Structure 1
Amino acid sequence: MNDRSLDRPWMLIAEREITTKLRDKTFIGSTVVMLFIVMVAVILPAVLAGRGGADKIAVVDDAGAKVVQQASTTKGGDGFEVVRAADRPAAEQLVTDGDAKVALLPDADGYIVLGKDRVDSGLEGALREAASAVGMEKNAAGAGLTPTELRAGTNVQLELLKPGPLPDIVSDFVNIGLALVFYMTALGFGMMIAQSVVQEKESRVVEILAAAVPIRSLLWGKVLGNTVLALSQIVVIAAASLIGLLATDQADILEVVAPVAGWFVVFFVLGFVALAGLWAVAGSLATRQEDLGSTTLPGQMILMIPFFFSVFAGSSAKTVASFIPIASSMAMPGRMLTEDVPLWQPLLAIVILLAGTVLIVRLGARLYERTLLQTGRRLGYREALAIKAT
């Protein structure tokens, strides 16, 4: 124990929390479960994208159908399926509704591959080669053509109806994944914090600690130690996600996810710190492990309701939730992945979350000081608020 630790007793408590958790099988098990869930969320979209039989390609004329048939024979596997459309608007509708992967439309100098938010590079390449082969075959029927004339009408351009950074299915999975990481991490660590506090109360260890260390230092140490552990867990999960993206040839997703990941860390830390204080209070209100079911219920609700909002609610509800403390930690990063969010919105959400975190932590510290040494029976939140400070 060095002099700096004596001057800052909360550092001793934080170190104690970290070393204890690293030896805890529950903590290790929760980390493994989180890794599994995130890896599934990363790999499953790539697996789903590669299933479902032949890709459907909308065309408006026989020439386009011939190009698709040529591409299908050279692609191998399931190939491509031709879907007839009356005109370009009808073809666009098929692509928008998901009834066709892309549309192959005639253009002045060849064809246009029309996609919704992105076009698979393999599909585009197959159509490009097929258009070139069919066009040259047609042009070769003439005599005395130059190379430029021979390749006339074989140029393929790419257009997108709704240009976006990620395919819809990938955006949905990543959105759910970010919200789920915060939810499970905050819930898992929160229950461990509450259990740790009540165990110390049951064993009377807290009385020894409180005699040597200010009660607020006990709280700050627990919050700091568990925040460090939670961030470390997030780093491990992020590394596993990176490996999964590279292994499934989804490296292009990193260009979109990486900037949002930085925002997610900020929202995560602020939201987690606020919740960590509340979880510690939930433990201080209890006198036995059996009491945690009722004392931790408010914390579970604070997490569960915003989680379902951030994942299943409509666009307007998500926008509102992204400015509400705690809920913004799950809603705002997801919106930044799936929408064009102005810079002022996440900045404002962080300011609001920071103010909310300060208020929640101050309230939690006050309740923690008043209830930590209360033994004999479980206390309610209203009763704890009514206790006078000593």
Structure 2
Amino acid sequence: MKTLDKPWVLIAEREITTKLRDKTFIGSTLVMLLIVMVAVILPAILAGKGGPDKIGVIDDAGLKVVQTASVTAGGDGYEATRFSDRPAAEKAVTDGKVKAALLPDADGYVVLGKDRVDSGVEGALREAAAAVGMETNAGKAGLTPAELHAGTKVSLQLLKPGPLPDIVSDFVNIGLALVFYMTALGFGMMIAQSVVQEKESRVVEILAAAVPIRSLLWGKVLGNTVLALTQIVVIAGASLIGLLATDQADILEVVAPVAGWFVVFFVLGFVALAGLWAVAGSLATRQEDLGSTTLPGQMILMIPFFFSVFAGSSAKTVASFVPIASSMSMPGRMLTEDVPVWQPLVAIALLLAATVLIVRMGARLYERTLLQTGRRLGYREALALESK
């Protein structure tokens, strides 16, 4: 009986149970889970599929060069395969048993390939051969390896280091923005469609007679926010399982500190948009009307999404403080840049203020338009009704 004093809770429960029985919703969630699992696991499988590249050698000197190249290459490196003589090494290359062969030549070595040699393999072997040769020659001249390489060390220093490499940074920015965009768009359209279905079937008139109209709105916003956040958590859990299963747990050290911030930005941005999507549904009288009534909501999502993905660094910094756009830009910046704590706090404060204003305006429009069933209303007409 407690929930009867809070009708918006009943509406929220109705939204959740209805969606959980919807085969389309369940199917789309499963598809998203599958895509995430493939995106997380497949790269690791492909990266480790062939193991280290095999390089054929016929003597100890070649073996040492390949071992040196393997250490400097990183990752799986290279694996030296010993053959008895040059013809045997050539046959292995021709048959594809080895990636290439490193054979002694008159003035050093020759890298032998079938029809081509990977530039990375050639470069690594060339550098390793030079390093091993210099150390051998230095020994003959009475120099130690340390003396030979004195004053040649080059180190790397970054003035504005980011927690992730450039390629990963771009992927993360696009990924986080895409998660918010797809979730807000998918659930937003479901909210609008749900409102129109209730209007077409006259169910909304029964609900409005028993429950305050604002409670109908709060219930829809709350129920869909819970569903959207739950879907994100499930997807995050699937990603976590995929990362742990493929020994990529080190990525979590970078992502985990920003996860809480992302949830805050996601919830505030989604709540603001959910109110607008509900209004888009209340302005329509048929499913066919949603194309025009939901267009503003789609533009509010689409423009910041493309801006956060393709804009330059200065523009992204500005976008990370703009409400709604900040839900897509700020979490990505926090993962890829050294962002002072005050910046996300200011962005959250601005987003919270905008969310309150948008929801309050949406609630007033929703009250004025929900029971208008004669024809589709425009936003200007709805604002005029609200002001009466």
Shorter-chain TM-score range:
0.7 to 0.9
Report if the CA contact (8 A) 1:310-1:318 is conserved: yes
Give 1:250 deviation, angstroms: 1.9
Q: CA RMSD in A?
A: 3.8
Residue 389 of structure 1 and its aligned partner are, at CA, apart by: 6.7
Correspondence for 2:354: 356
Alignment of 1:87-106 (within 5 A): none
1:231 counterpart residue number: 229
1:48 and 1:347 mapped to 2: Cα distance? Answer: 40
Cα distance in 1 for residues equivalent to 2:45 and 2:156: 23
Q: What is the aligned residue count?
A: 333
**Is 1:207 aligned with 2:205?**
yes
Within the candidate set 24, 28, 31, 2:29 is matched to: 31
**1:75 corresponds to 2:78:** yes
Moved over 6 A (4+): 47-55, 130-143, 149-155
- Counterpart code for 1:31: T
Structure 2 counterpart SS, 1:382: helix
TM-aligned CA distance change 1:46 to 1:135, over 3 Å: farther
Deviation digits for residues 89-117 of structure 1 (CA, Å, limit 9, x no counterpart):
xxxxxxxxxx989x99xxxxxx9xxxxxx
Measure how far apart 1:53 and its partner are.
Answer: 12
Seen in structure 2, the aligned counterparts of structure 1 residues 275 and 260 have a Cα distance that, compared at 3 Å, is same
Which of residues 255, 265, 270 is equivalent to 2:268? 270
Q: CA deviation at 1:167?
A: 2.4
Corresponding residue for residue 93 of structure 1: none
The match for 2:279 among 278, 281, 285 is 281
Q: Tell me which structure has the larger Cα radius of gyration.
A: 2
- Go from structure 1 to structure 2 and tell me whether the alpha carbon gap of 1:372 and 1:207 turns closer, same or farther (over 3 Å shift): same
* Distance in 2 between residues matched to 1:195 and 1:54, nearest whole Å: 53
2:315 — aligned with what? 317
CA deviation vs aligned residue, 1:294-348 (integer Å, no higher than 9, x gap): 1111111111111111111111111111111111000111111111111111111
Q: Secondary structure at the match of 2:174?
A: helix
Percent identity, aligned pairs only?
80
TM-score with structure 2 length normalisation? 0.75
Distance 2:130 2:17 in 1: 64
Residue type matched to 2:177 in 1? Answer: A
Match of 1:91 in 2: none
| CA displacement at 1:381 relative to structure 2 | 0.4
Output the amino acid matched with 1:16: R
CA distance in 2, matches of 1:296, 1:80: 63
Report the CA distance between 1:70 and its aligned residue. Answer: 3.3
User: What is the TM-score when the length of structure 1 is the normalising length?
Assistant: 0.75
Structure 2 runs not aligned, ≥5 long:
54-63, 72-76, 80-97, 103-118
Q: Indicate the residue corresponding to 1:296 in structure 2.
A: 294
* More contact order relative to length (CA 8 Å, sep ≥ 6): 2
Question: Corresponding residue for 1:384?
Answer: 382
C-alpha distance after superposition, 1:118-158 (max 9, x if no partner):
xxxxxxxxx9xx99999998899899xxxxx8999899x99
Query: 1:58 maps to what in 2?
Result: none
State whether structure 2 residue 209 is matched by structure 1 residue 195: no
Shift in CA distance, 17/79, structure 1 to aligned 2, threshold 3 Å: farther
Which residue, 182, 185, 191 being the options, matches 1:184? Answer: 182
Map 1:106-145; keep pairs closer than 5 Å.
none
**CA distance change for structure 1 residues 267 and 78 in 2, over 3 Å: closer, same or farther?**
farther
Structure 1 residue 165 displacement after superposition: 2.1
**1:24-67 per-position Cα deviation (integer Å, ceiling 9, x unaligned):** 11211221232233334434654676799999xxxxxxxxxx85
Aligned to 1:250: 248
2:340 is paired with a residue of what secondary structure?
coil
